[in-house]
Structure 1
Amino acid sequence: MVFLLVALGIDNVGSGLFLPMTIVYATRVVGLPLAAAGVTVTVGTLVGLLVPPLAGRLVDRVGPRPVVIASQVLQACGALGFVGAGGAGGLALTVCLLAAGQQLFYSSLFALLSDVVGDRPKDRPFAVVAMVRSACFGLGGLLAAWLLSVGALRVAPLVNVVSFVVCAVILAVFVRAPHAVVEADRGGRVSGQFLRLVLLTGLVAVGLDFFLVGIPVFVLGLGAPSWLPGVILALNTVVTSTCGTLAVRLTQRFARTTALAVAAVFLVAWCGLCLAATAVPLGWRPAWLLGSALVVAVSGVLFGSRVNALAVALAPAATRGRHLAAFQYAFTVAGVLAPAVVALFDLGVWAPWVVVALCASVGAFGLQAFGRGLPDEVVRPSTVPAR
């Protein structure tokens, strides 16, 4: 497990360094207009959505470790392509490679973690992985800020290439993940029950992704200091990188679905607090918004520490790869929808908050109802048997 954590940490330092800088790199180094860069990156990301079904079948056939290693190699090729990209065509190809590698990675990562952890409950180990990845992504973001400040943006994709290659080598040489192939029927379709979980997860994930892309727009629109969005995002990173195992411990008596529903309720509360911020005196708004950020951070750490463990427990052993790959669509689609929710600020400052609160409310009630129909060994970690 230690080598796996090291590999994932290195991967996330590189990702935190370069992924947020993709459009900046495309405009400042490649020389594309902002609109062209945005469209190119978006199209590449959408192409990546074709990967999870293939990834899931590969995981079920050969095991997750080779697939995760392949994802690192594919992402390294994509990142390397940025170095020589000279126009929209070259950039589109490299973005497609990078996006395909990312989807391959996320579609196989939790199957690999499940194999490494073995038959014991996955909640705490998954929380540890999430904490390490969050901390290292934040470190990568700090390195990106430093590279920008010294005018060394061209170095960013090269560092990302190195991080992917080193991660792949560690996984190939040091990580052992026994994988038993279980015979499944030829169809191997994702069950309707599991698709319900994907939908409910996506409803909550939209709000959490909206926080990442929407809070800077909202905060600056309220006339708050320009430093506040960065501090809010840094506060969120600190909470998610330090409190995952604490969240698991505090909610260990809850059913997994109940813990997720509580996370959704915190998200609704955050929406109310942010909407109320419009009535708070200007001098008090920074403190109010920072306090509100703690609420959404609690929501994120509660949700992130339990949701993947629930998905693994619910996925049938014979088609676990396909089910977990399908599960990633909850987060991928949420990431695509979040900017559209941010655009609702054009209708009024209230509009995005109402949409996010409604989605989270439906998610909270839906998860509670969904949990009542699941076996104890799926929703309660202490009763998970060997699978």
Structure 2
Amino acid sequence: MTRSRAALLIALGIDNFGTGLFLPLVLLYVTREIGLPLGVAGMAITGGGLVAFAVPPVAGHLVDWIGPRWVVITAFLVQATGVSLYLVADGVVTVVAVAMIVAVGQQLFYCALYVLVADVAGNVPKERPFALVAMVRTAAFGAGAFAAAFVPSGYRVALVGDVVTFLVAAGVVVALVDAPHKVAWFEKVPANVSKNRPYLALILFCGLFSLSLDFFLVGMPVFVLDQLHGPSWLPGAILAVFTLSFSMSGTLALRHTRRFTRIGAMRLGSGLFAAWSALSFVAIFVPLDGLPLYLLTVTLVLAAGELVFGPRGGALAEAAAPPMARGRYLAAYQYAFTFSSVLAPAVAGLFSLAVWVPWVLVATCACLAVAGLGWLGPRLPENAVTPIQG
């Protein structure tokens, strides 16, 4: 592993450790330290975050023009600024403003991250580099969230720790990460993202897949506690099983599914998500004393689906993009995850209609992804869909 690759993994681990420290506590910070009511706090943070929808087109051009390295560095600094401003926020208006700054930084980061990873990795298939990044970031986030439970001096210590990790991560990238990038100031891009229908379809089908994962994060606690009346510790244990499985098995999953094409692996992952939805719904028939073991086991199906799909989806999106427009294309690809994260709370709210409604919707979306990806495969560049080697 080169110095730049190792340094980038270290920087991303430092960054996500800090995110794990503070992100799970941000709503509690706004309610308990700033004093906003819970409903108002949630609306303020969500409202500020809506600005994220405007960022990808701008971020994509920046990545293509100045390179992903400087966009990632800028994203770290913007997020550090935004999180630090929570210290002086004193009402709804300032919380919305701070949430907007943080959301801009987050979107800048995600729009540039995988172009930077691809540049640092060089001319190799991107599944393994993307899987390593996901493993490191997931493990670091879990470590940060675990450490937050032992912070003795309250939420402000976690907040300051998050700011420091952003700054340290930016410093590591500045000093140690070298990412050769051909700047696209004047080159004519082969096709605009909005005119590339197969790529737009890829974004759509990845969004249908991603909805399952976002629903898992926000809907599973509601399902376990409100619908099944399970023990209060179970949602945290389910998330821990998912995090541990994902952070330890990324490259192993790649090796065991290397005979699949990228599209084939993504269809398998989507099918596993559909199976997870069906198996989770069946939990309503499981006796309460057997519920924890059942749901913890079912979570492994979800983790397997993400392990198979995640790196292949990113690698396919990168390979299918015109080389001189990767920034714009991968920034557009982020909309798959932005929209699913916005829709997931609304899907979880459908539990108020009936316990089966969200599960049927999520499973249907996953099945549509399976079918849609099968249709899409022949319409993407052949070299982007070819079997994964090594």
Contact 1:376 1:383 in 2 (8 A): no
Aligned to 1:276: 282
- The residue identity in structure 2 corresponding to 1:136 is A
Matched, 1:288 2:294: yes
Contact 1:245 1:305 in 2 (8 A): no
1:361-383 Cα deviation digits (max 9, x unpaired): 00011112211333432012547
Number of residue-to-residue matches in the alignment: 382
What TM-score do you get using the length of structure 2 for normalisation? 0.95
Aligned to 2:200: 195
Aligned to 1:347: 353
Aligned to 1:184: 187
After the TM superposition, which residues 1-40 of structure 1 pair with which residues of structure 2 at under 5 Å, given as runs? 1-40=5-44
> Which residue, 50, 74, 77 being the options, matches 2:78?
74
Matched, 1:166 2:172: no
**Which aligned segments of 4 or more residues in structure 1 are displaced greater than 6 angstroms?**
none
> Which residue, 263, 284, 299 being the options, matches 1:257?
263
The alignment partner of 2:291 has SS state of: helix
The alignment partner of 1:214 has SS state of: helix
Aligned to 1:134: 138
1:119-168 Cα deviation digits (max 9, x unpaired): 11000111011000000010111122223xx4511112111110110011
Whole-Å Cα distance in 1 between the matches of residues 153 and 32 of structure 2?
A: 11
The alignment partner of 2:155 has SS state of: coil
After the TM superposition, which residues 169-248 of structure 1 pair with which residues of structure 2 at under 5 Å, given as runs? 169-182=171-184, 183-185=186-188, 189-190=192-193, 191-221=196-226, 222-248=228-254
Q: CA deviation at 1:181?
A: 2.5
Whole-Å Cα distance in 1 between the matches of residues 266 and 169 of structure 2?
A: 31
Whole-Å Cα distance in 2 between the matches of residues 192 and 343 of structure 1?
A: 32
- The residue identity in structure 2 corresponding to 1:184 is E
Whole-Å Cα distance in 2 between the matches of residues 137 and 331 of structure 1?
A: 18
Contact 2:262 2:312 in 1 (8 A): yes
* Counterparts in 2 of 1:258 and 1:217: CA distance versus 1, 3 Å: same
Whole-Å Cα distance in 2 between the matches of residues 204 and 197 of structure 1?
A: 11
Residue segments in structure 2 that go unaligned for 5+ positions in a row: none
Whole-Å Cα distance in 2 between the matches of residues 193 and 258 of structure 1?
A: 16
**Percent identical:** 49
The alignment partner of 1:185 has SS state of: coil
What TM-score do you get using the length of structure 1 for normalisation? 0.96
Contact 2:11 2:168 in 1 (8 A): yes
Aligned to 1:89: 93
Whole-Å Cα distance in 1 between the matches of residues 366 and 105 of structure 2?
A: 30
Contact 1:107 1:324 in 2 (8 A): yes
Q: CA deviation at 1:341?
A: 0.5
Whole-Å Cα distance in 2 between the matches of residues 4 and 330 of structure 1?
A: 25
Contact 2:320 2:381 in 1 (8 A): no
* Counterparts in 2 of 1:187 and 1:38: CA distance versus 1, 3 Å: farther
1:307-328 Cα deviation digits (max 9, x unpaired): 1111101011011100000000
The alignment partner of 1:320 has SS state of: helix
Matched, 1:154 2:179: no
Whole-Å Cα distance in 2 between the matches of residues 52 and 22 of structure 1?
A: 24
Aligned to 1:358: 364
- The residue identity in structure 2 corresponding to 1:348 is A
- The residue identity in structure 2 corresponding to 1:298 is A
> Which residue, 366, 371, 379 being the options, matches 2:377?
371
Whole-Å Cα distance in 2 between the matches of residues 176 and 101 of structure 1?
A: 22
After TM superposition, the structure 1 stretch with the greater mean CA deviation from structure 2, 172-181 or 364-373, is 364-373
Aligned to 2:65: 61
Q: CA deviation at 1:79?
A: 0.7
Whole-Å Cα distance in 2 between the matches of residues 281 and 134 of structure 1?
A: 32
